[in-house]
Amino acid sequence: MNATTHAIFGVGALAGASLALGTEPPPLWAYPVAAVASWLPDVDNPRSKLGNGLSRKKNPLLNTLTRPVSWALRAASFGLFRTVGHRTLTHSLLGLLLFCLPVYLFLGFSPALQLALVCGVASHVVADALNRWGVPLLWPLRKNFRLLPGGIRSGGVAEFCVAALALGAFVYAAYLLHPALGGLVEEVVGTV
């Protein structure tokens, strides 16, 4: 799946989990966190959105602020790719556990942040389980699991349709969680 589809799944998972768990609606800042967290499992691929580091910006101040994070992402990407390869540890239940444990231990002060991070990362694994290769849920065992027989080709029309359905589900869930946004949409559409 591509980065946009993963981001849609990330925000959709956050909204869906909030509805399913009956928690307070997530603050609006949690949705971009879930979108970025949905890219984290692909840090094991040096050509991925985060594995390539943060894109170089034309703004020198922004470059200065993002360069250390970019270097850390590239180093992590290279290390993971060289040691375990792409779509192994970071796409498995063991990888989810290793990610969720520090999130639970160190971010207990913000349940919204915890939920956004976990939903984003977990949604990535679910989304990749829809494609042809599936995911190695029981890594280091070499058995891949797919949610659909045959799977969906990444970047194809089927992926676009799945992303559109996920986006529709997210919009509906966000409307249920944040009814004030519905009034804003009605106001904007009414003035057009």
CA 44, 40, 121, 7 torsion-angle sign: negative
Tokens for 117, please give them. 């991070």
Beta carbons of 74 and 51 less than 8 angstroms apart: yes
* pLDDT tens profile 57-105: 566 776 777 777 676 777 777 777 777 777 788 889 998 999 999 999 9
User: In 3D, which of 96, 118, 97, 93 has the Cα closest to residue 34?
Assistant: 118
Please give the mean pLDDT across all residues of the chain: 84
- Give domain limits for the chain: 3-190
- Which residues of the chain fall short of a pLDDT of 50? none
